[in-house]
Amino acid sequence: MDLGLAGRVALVAAASKGLGRAVAREFAREGARVAMFSRDQERITAAAAAIRDETGAEVLALTADARRGDDIERVVAETVRAFGQLDILVTNAGGPPAGTFETLSEQDFVDAIELNLLSTLRMCRAVVPHMKERGGSIVTITSISVKQPLDGLILSNTARAGVVGLVKSMANELGPYNIRVNNVGPGPTRTDRILDLARSRAERAGILLDEALRANARGIPLGRLGEPEEFARVVVFVASPAASYLTGQTILVDGGLYRGAL
């Protein structure tokens, strides 16, 4: 199947490592032109160079904090200036800290909403004007927690639920411009974030890292963590012209971990 991505321009947020980087790499492998950003100039430049060397694609490295509206406006403007168009946006940012209703402060909730909900809103607001004439596609990266809230992650459970409402409403309102808006939620996927969490759990419990990772995979029907590339391939398909009749949907890439029937 041809995904129809050759020559298309994709902007990928929070992409120096982990899921964002894997998504940027997959777009490049499919012949898209890619702009990718994160907060650290050195890291994003190195990630972009590695993808460029591997794929031969045009890859632009930009520095921005997903929480800052002015940064977002700038990276969108720089992408359009460099490539002359913007067809695809993939929103992403770091995850909020763990905690519970009783241990977290109101400010923690405000910060999580800023990091995961308002950053998504700001990225969408910045790109839509560039997509209205030619159509476009937006994919938000959230979490399995939008369908099955995760224990100890009340900040993620709360802020990401808002992203789903935003996605569904935007899909309805922007469909007439041929702008598709979808959400993809990862289950446990082997990135630095998961490895760091497992490492600290292993230290606390006095067990090996491998053992902590195996515990992470318990309850997943496929019996293992996902790999970033497995997640990225779904995001890139959903974002691509090949998925031209798909909008307003949430798709989980979780090895079957979500237990609901629908």
Residues forming contacts to ligand NAD in the complex (CB under 6 A) are: 14-20, 38-39, 65-67, 92-95, 141, 143, 186, 188-189, 191-194
Nearer to ligand NAD, 173 or 227 (CB): 227
Q: For residue 1, what are its two tokens? A: 């199947």
CB 71 within 8 Å of CB 44: no
Nearer to ligand NAD, 15 or 174 (CB): 15
Q: Is the dihedral of CA 9, 44, 24, 181 positive or negative?
A: negative
List beta partners, residue 10: 34, 88
What is the nearest approach in angstroms of ligand NAD to the Cβ of residue 201?
14
What is the nearest approach in angstroms of ligand NAD to the Cβ of residue 4?
26
Nearer to ligand NAD, 137 or 191 (CB): 191
Query: Looking at the chain, how many residues does it have?
Result: 262
Nearer to ligand NAD, 200 or 244 (CB): 200
What is the nearest approach in angstroms of ligand NAD to the Cβ of residue 93?
5
What is the nearest approach in angstroms of ligand NAD to the Cβ of residue 200?
14
Dihedral (Cα; 13, 226, 162, 21), 10-degree rounding: 0
Q: How far is CA 254 from CA 13, 76, 152, 190, 251, in A?
A: 21, 30, 18, 12, 9
